């Protein structure tokens, strides 16, 4: 069986593939590499409590928008 072309897959397709083939380490590493290359995450120190989220409004806004996109695909 030939290996799929992970570079040609969209990020969503690659994510779906990784979830469907959890034992495929090559796919997992390709997905992590893609996430790292795109760098669309928000870094922040570890929280000490839920109230600490109030100090990071850009993070909570990012999570809210991401959730909306997932729940209402275009």
Per-domain residue ranges of the chain: 1-41, 45-74
Give 12-66 pLDDT, tens digit per residue.
999 999 999 999 999 999 999 998 888 776 676 788 888 888 888 888 888 888 8
Q: How far apart are the first and last CA of the chain?
A: 34
Let me know if 27 is exposed, middle or buried by CB neighbors in 10 A (0-12, 13-18, 19+). buried
What is the model's pLDDT at position 1?
Answer: 61
What is the model's pLDDT at position 74?
Answer: 61
Helices 25-38 and 11-20 meet at what angle, rounded to 10? 150
What ranges in the chain are assigned the alpha helix state H? 11-20, 25-38, 57-71
Verdict on whether the full-model pTM lies above 0.95: no
What is the model's pLDDT at position 50?
Answer: 83
What's the maximum distance between 2 C-alpha atoms anywhere in the chain?
Answer: 50
């Amino acid at each position: 069986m030939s290996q799929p072309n992970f570079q040609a897959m969209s990020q969503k397709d690659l994510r779906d593939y990784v979830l469907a083939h959890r034992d495929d380490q090559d796919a997992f590493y390709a997905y992590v590499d893609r996430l790292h290359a795109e760098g669309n995450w928000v870094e922040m120190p570890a929280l000490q409590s839920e109230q600490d989220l109030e100090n990071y409004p850009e993070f909570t806004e990012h999570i809210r928008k991401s959730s909306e996109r997932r729940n209402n695909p275009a």
